[in-house]
Chains A and B, each alone.
Chain A
Amino acid sequence: MATNIIELNHVKKNFGRTQALKDVTFNLPAGQVLGFLGPNGAGKSTTIRILLGMLKRDGGDATVFGEDPWHNDLAIHPRISYVPGDVYLWPNLSGGEIIDLLLRLNGQDHNAKTDALMQEFEFDPKKKARTYSKGNRQKVALIAALSQDAELYIFDEPTSGLDPLNELTFQQEVLKLKKAGKTVLLSSHILSEVEKMCDAIVIIREGKIIEQGNLAQLQHLSRLRIQVQTDKPLSALQKQPGVYDWHESDAHTQADFAVDHDALAAVLAALTPLGVVDLQSTPPTLEDLFLHYYSDQGVSHHAAQ
């Protein structure tokens, strides 16, 4: 078992009367890429700021590299590289100046990697920060963070302002970090992004961790989506237990539905005698997983069935 870089145990945080974090518990083992998922306002950034020692927790335990982040922020910060969710920069400094400054403040310097990243992200370092768009401001923080040599990389919704091409560049960079054995915490509400890069995910909602595990573990929780075409009418199939969200064609020979993993065998057995012409199954995306947990509507709908 690898050592845990981050350990959070029943962490709580209040802002005045609002409980931003009610119960946050998860670990991040060394060398893993962890996706930290949740809708806006769920507490992702608050959790990250506690990990960085910027906010004082109101309950529970938190350690980063085995140290309390609030009391020993000096010990942990040099080993961390961080990109905040909203990047704001001194308006009259240029992007290049800020990148150099951020590196130097952590005892490092502009290096070959910095130049390479500037090219990859197609970034113009000469412009003053006030003229940068959100995406360009994010690039400043990303280039500074990625060209810094650190053990733990924390990205708070890093791609929300990037175009798809830059997003791809970012994903490749994270995969490089993963290969190099670095530990990464990546918060996001973009599921496809997390799916491509992460070993494990943690889902937070309204200040509580509601699910965590590696991708394979979590996928069984969601349903497969099946599209099927048969010779004979297949309407009877929708009565089968474990089948949801049924749509069929007017001729009753085509259908599109979701099915629980444990009901799959029974459904296939029922399909075979109908003469299957075409069958496609789509693996669950994190989108499905996410909706599964996140829409209250979905939950009550499920319960009603």
Chain B
Amino acid sequence: MLRSDRHVGFLLRANLKQNLKYSLVWIVILEMMVASGAFKMQTIMESTGKGVQDLLNMLRMPGMAGLFGAMPKGVALNSATVFAGVMMVFMVILDALYVMPLMVKNTRGQEESGLLEMVRARTVGRTAAVAAALCELVIVNVILFVLYVGTIVSLNLKGADFNGTFLFTLALIAANLMFGVFTLLIAQLASTARGANMIAYTVLGAAYLVRTVTDIENTDWTWLSPIGWAQKTNAYSDNNYWPVLLMFGVTLLLAAAAWQLAKSRDLGTGILPERAGRARAAGYLRSIPALLFRTTWGVVLGWLIGAVVAGGIFGGVLNSVGDILKTNPLYRQMMSVTQVNAANKTMVLSFLALYILLFVAFGVVAGAQVVFRLKEDEDKGYLGVIHATKQTRQTISLSYYLIGLAVSLVVFVVGILMVYYTGNASLKDPLAAEYLTRMLVAGLPAVFALVSLATLLVGWVPRLSAVFWVYMGIGLLVQMFGSLLNLPKDSGKFSPFGWLNQAPLHAVQTPWLSAMIIITVVFLILGVIGYRQRDVA
């Protein structure tokens, strides 16, 4: 049995070296997130101003509970408990976004590129790749564990005892191991690296959505989501260790399954059998856009379903967002009925202003992925034969760019329509159509501006595609959590996420709107020019 793990050490060393830069960047980012989160919490909570009460009020709102996780009930809220409540979900997701691609890259990715075939022909065992990936997962998590504990202890949050810090970090690590190992298993099942990544992200997204709904509606049901297990440790208050045990148990089961699959399947195949394809191409398959449609429709459909589900969920909870005012007797006393209704609406709208950022991001990721496929397909050599045909670089690049823009448009619009209509179905005072228009008018140009930035990068410096994701991610996070982290009001203005002017609460301002439209057109044209003048493979 052990024989099949031969030379794990060799593979592990090679992988660690290969992934060094990627891991270093991620570990630094994650460490900074924990440190800045704890530090901000400390500054706000341990100050004497009214910031404390503002923050606590905000965190008790259902919409916030939906985004970050529900605050534990019946506990003293101090720096430590609020920190654990706000940061747990956020960090579980960030950690998972780090290890998921890493696990796929080390197993299915290497298999796809043929690297593993070469390695396996040496005296390297059948399950060595999985075992090496597993070792790497444990190593990076031990590093993260030490860094997190060290940071939190050294910042000395009020109310933080070592037991709570230990449990909080242990829960993060356990969840991360669970998602990492789950990805390993998926990488064994799926037959492409791209597919494995997509499934892993989808499951992570679904876990987040499930706990969004349950945290708003009834926190008992949060047990349904694996991310919820980490929340249920209630570090610094109940200090419940059972969920950690549960996560470790699931991790072991998943690891055993991945190992067993790796041992018994053929190299280079998935578990699902290959269906035979068509002998002749369908009649429509006679252009680059048709080819792109043929090769991406599955993924696009996935994004659309995601947009419908997420839109439906966010729309469905809008009702409870508003109800908080009505159930609060103090507010009712202070305001007349119409005023309550108005405040209620303002509240719903400001939550929509937060949710719209998520849908912009949703649309951008879906569209930019298509745009970046121009680089990917080129790197994979698919375009070699295409470039020699009479299709021009202009046709080829524009096909990828415009289809990317179209995908982002459809995903964004479908998501927003779902939020609006399911929201109106649940609200007692439906929102006027004007607010839908505001969301679309502000959001679409932002989506386009970001996707066109991707076209600019692909056209001129395709190597820098990672920069795009970092810029987009930071832009989204700063705009969403900036106020919570006490950042200056305009600090989100460096990306289109900050240019929306909290639509639909306010309408987007014309200068920003024009800026976004101009950026879209100019970047798109530059992207085509860039692709025409650079070397292609």
B166 shortest CB reach to chain A, Å? 46
* Beta-carbon contact of B386 and A105 below 8 Å: yes
- CB nearest neighbor in A for B388: A82
Which residues does chain B contribute within 8 Å of A98, judged by CB atoms? Answer: 281
Which residues does chain B contribute within 8 Å of A127, judged by CB atoms? Answer: 274, 276-277
- Bound form: Cα–Cα A154–B385 in Å: 11
- Bound form: Cα–Cα A214–B393 in Å: 36
- Bound form: Cα–Cα A83–B381 in Å: 12
Provided the pairs A54-B535, A84-B385, A87-B385 are in contact, do residues A94 and B390 lie with their beta carbons within 8 angstroms?
no
B396 shortest CB reach to chain A, Å? 10
Which residues does chain A contribute within 8 Å of B533, judged by CB atoms? Answer: 56
- Bound form: Cα–Cα A130–B190 in Å: 13
- Bound form: Cα–Cα A86–B378 in Å: 13
Interface centre among A86, A105, A127 (most CB of B within 10 A): A105
- CB nearest neighbor in A for B536: A54
Q: Mark A67-90, 1 if CB is under 8 A from B, else 0.
A: 000000110011010111011111
- Bound form: Cα–Cα A99–B384 in Å: 14
Partner pick for B276 among A73, A86, A99, A126, CB 8 A cutoff:
A126
Q: Write 27 A-B pairs (CB below 8 A) sorted by A numbering.
A: A53-B387, A54-B388, A54-B536, A73-B392, A77-B388, A77-B391, A84-B381, A84-B384, A84-B388, A87-B385, A90-B377, A90-B382, A94-B279, A96-B277, A96-B280, A97-B278, A100-B285, A101-B291, A102-B389, A104-B281, A105-B287, A105-B391, A110-B281, A126-B277, A128-B275, A130-B192, A131-B274
A27 adjacent to chain B (CB < 8 Å): no
B431 shortest CB reach to chain A, Å? 42
Question: What is the interface of chain A mostly: helix, strand, loop, or mixed?
Answer: mixed
A66 adjacent to chain B (CB < 8 Å): no
Partner pick for B278 among A53, A96, A130, CB 8 A cutoff:
A96
A270 adjacent to chain B (CB < 8 Å): no
- Bound form: Cα–Cα A104–B287 in Å: 8
Within 8 A of A (CB), among B274-302: 274-282, 285-288, 291, 294-295
B191 adjacent to chain A (CB < 8 Å): yes
Provided the pairs A128-B277, A130-B274 are in contact, do residues A102 and B385 lie with their beta carbons within 8 angstroms?
yes
B30 shortest CB reach to chain A, Å? 33
- CB nearest neighbor in A for B275: A128
- Bound form: Cα–Cα A52–B386 in Å: 11
* Beta-carbon contact of B277 and A97 below 8 Å: yes
- Bound form: Cα–Cα A92–B389 in Å: 21
- Bound form: Cα–Cα A98–B389 in Å: 13
- Bound form: Cα–Cα A127–B388 in Å: 24
- CB nearest neighbor in B for A76: B390
* Beta-carbon contact of A125 and B279 below 8 Å: yes
- CB nearest neighbor in B for A73: B392
Interface centre among B295, B385, B388 (most CB of A within 10 A): B388
- Bound form: Cα–Cα A91–B278 in Å: 13
Given contacts A96-B277, A100-B281, 5 further A-B contacts (CB under 8 A): A52-B387, A91-B192, A93-B295, A97-B285, A104-B287
Q: Mark A90-130, 1 if CB is under 8 A from B, else 0.
A: 11111111111110111100100000000000000111101
* Beta-carbon contact of A89 and B382 below 8 Å: yes
B217 shortest CB reach to chain A, Å? 40
- Bound form: Cα–Cα A125–B275 in Å: 13
Interface centre among B274, B279, B385, B535 (most CB of A within 10 A): B385
Q: Mark A50-61, 1 if CB is under 8 A from B, else 0.
A: 001111100000
A29 shortest CB reach to chain B, Å? 22
Residues on A facing B (Cβ under 8 Å): 52-56, 73-74, 77-78, 80, 82-84, 86-102, 104-107, 110, 125-128, 130-131, 141, 144, 154
* Beta-carbon contact of A126 and B389 below 8 Å: no
Which residues does chain A contribute within 8 Å of B390, judged by CB atoms? Answer: 74, 77-78, 105-107
Which residues does chain A contribute within 8 Å of B285, judged by CB atoms? Answer: 97, 100-101, 104
Within 8 A of A (CB), among B182-207: 191-192
- Bound form: Cα–Cα A55–B537 in Å: 8
Partner pick for A110 among B280, B287, B388, B389, CB 8 A cutoff:
B280
- Bound form: Cα–Cα A189–B387 in Å: 24
- Bound form: Cα–Cα A96–B281 in Å: 6
B89 shortest CB reach to chain A, Å? 35
- Among all A-B residue pairs, the 10 with the closest Cβ atoms: A94-B277, A88-B381, A100-B281, A82-B388, A104-B286, A97-B281, A105-B389, A84-B384, A78-B390, A96-B279
Q: Mark B367-407, 1 if CB is under 8 A from A, else 0.
A: 00000000001001110111111111100000000000000
Partner pick for B384 among A77, A88, A125, A128, CB 8 A cutoff:
A88
Residues of B in contact (CB 8 Å), total 37
Which residues does chain A contribute within 8 Å of B377, judged by CB atoms? Answer: 90
- Bound form: Cα–Cα A299–B433 in Å: 84
Provided the pairs A105-B390, A144-B385 are in contact, do residues A90 and B295 lie with their beta carbons within 8 angstroms?
yes
- Bound form: Cα–Cα A187–B391 in Å: 24
- CB nearest neighbor in B for A156: B384
- CB nearest neighbor in A for B281: A100
Which residues does chain B contribute within 8 Å of A84, judged by CB atoms? Answer: 381, 384-385, 388
A36 shortest CB reach to chain B, Å? 16
- Bound form: Cα–Cα A126–B285 in Å: 16
Partner pick for A86 among B286, B381, B389, B534, CB 8 A cutoff:
B381
- Bound form: Cα–Cα A280–B10 in Å: 55
A5 shortest CB reach to chain B, Å? 15
Within 8 A of A (CB), among B512-537: 533-537
- CB nearest neighbor in B for A82: B388
Within 8 A of A (CB), among B388-431: 388-393
Partner pick for A93 among B277, B286, B384, B537, CB 8 A cutoff:
B277
Which residues does chain A contribute within 8 Å of B294, judged by CB atoms? Answer: 93, 97
- Bound form: Cα–Cα A83–B384 in Å: 9
B381 shortest CB reach to chain A, Å? 3
Provided the pairs A54-B535, A56-B535, A126-B276 are in contact, do residues A101 and B382 lie with their beta carbons within 8 angstroms?
no
Within 8 A of A (CB), among B256-285: 274-282, 285
Which residues does chain A contribute within 8 Å of B389, judged by CB atoms? Answer: 77, 102, 105-106
- Bound form: Cα–Cα A96–B391 in Å: 20
- Bound form: Cα–Cα A96–B280 in Å: 5
* Beta-carbon contact of B384 and A97 below 8 Å: no
Which residues does chain B contribute within 8 Å of A131, judged by CB atoms? Answer: 274
- Bound form: Cα–Cα A88–B286 in Å: 19
* Beta-carbon contact of B295 and A54 below 8 Å: no
Which residues does chain B contribute within 8 Å of A104, judged by CB atoms? Answer: 281, 285-287
Which residues does chain B contribute within 8 Å of A88, judged by CB atoms? Answer: 380-382, 384
A214 shortest CB reach to chain B, Å? 27
- CB nearest neighbor in A for B391: A105
- Bound form: Cα–Cα A100–B283 in Å: 10
* Beta-carbon contact of A105 and B288 below 8 Å: yes
Partner pick for A87 among B274, B295, B384, CB 8 A cutoff:
B384
Which residues does chain A contribute within 8 Å of B384, judged by CB atoms? Answer: 84, 86-88
- Bound form: Cα–Cα A135–B535 in Å: 27
Which residues does chain A contribute within 8 Å of B278, judged by CB atoms? Answer: 94, 96-97, 126
- CB nearest neighbor in A for B290: A101
- Bound form: Cα–Cα A110–B384 in Å: 20
- Bound form: Cα–Cα A98–B382 in Å: 11
